[in-house]
Amino acid sequence: MNTQALWYLSRGTGVVALLLLTGALVLGMLNAGRLTSERWPRFTISAIHRNVSLLSLVFLVIHIVSSIIDPYAGIRWLDAVVPFVSSYRSFWLGLGALSGDLMLAVLITSLLRPRINYRVWRAIHWLSYAVWPIALVHGIGTGITDDHVVWVLISDVVCGLAVLVALWWRLGSTHPDTEARTR
C-alpha cells in the first residue's frame, strides 16, 4: 500500500472514529437522562449507543493500525499504547494513546459488567466523558497540517456543538430516579 493512501486512511478513520465517538457520547447522555418517546424507547437508544460505541472502536483500531504501518511518522505499537513516549508529535500522539487506553478500559469493564460491581463499572464508564475531549484535542493537534481542510474543521465544530447541546440537556434533565432522591 502506498504511503499517501495510508495517510488518507489514517486521517479518514480518525475523523470517522471521532464522529462515531461523538454520537456514542451524545446517545449515552440521552440514555442516562432517560430520554424516551413513543418512537424511541430507551432500550432502542441504549442499543444504538452500544453499537455506535463498538463501531467507533472498529474505526479507532483501523486508525491506529494504519498510522503504525505508515512509515512516514515512524509510529510504533508502543507509541499507540503508552502515552507520551513517541518521538513523533509526542504530546499530541500521547493524548491519542491516553484516549485509546481509556476507551479500552470502558470497553473491558462494559464487557465484564455482569461480573463486576455496578459502582465500579459506572465509575470507569464515567471515563467516557474524558475520552471525548482528549480525542478531540488529539485530532486537532496531530492534524494541525489539516487546518486548510475545511471539512475537518467543520466536523470538529459539529462534534463540539453536539456534545455541548447534549451535555446542556443532560444537566437540565430530571427523571424519577433523581427526583426520588431529592424529596
* Tens of pLDDT, residues 82-121: 999 998 889 999 999 999 999 999 999 989 999 999 999 9
Kindly state the cell numbers that stand for 150. 475545511
What's the rounded Cα separation, in Å, for the pair 75 and 68?
Answer: 5
Calculate mean pLDDT across residues 139-161. 83
CB neighbours of residue 146 within 10 Å: 17
Which phi and psi angles does 106 have, rounded to 5°? -65, -40
CA distances from 39 to 35, 36, 44, 46, 127 (A): 11, 8, 9, 14, 30
Question: In this predicted model, which residue has the larger pLDDT, 148 or 171?
Answer: 171
Calculate mean pLDDT across residues 172-178. 66
Summarised one tens digit per residue, pLDDT across range 30-88 is 887 776 677 777 788 888 989 999 999 999 999 999 999 988 878 999 999 999 999 88
Calculate mean pLDDT across residues 119-144. 89
Task: Identify the DSSP state of 21.
Answer: H
Calculate mean pLDDT across residues 19-38. 84
- Under 8 Å CB-to-CB from 73, ≥6 apart: which residues? 67, 88, 89
Decide if 6 contacts 69 (C-beta within 8 A).
yes
pTM of the predicted protein model: 0.86
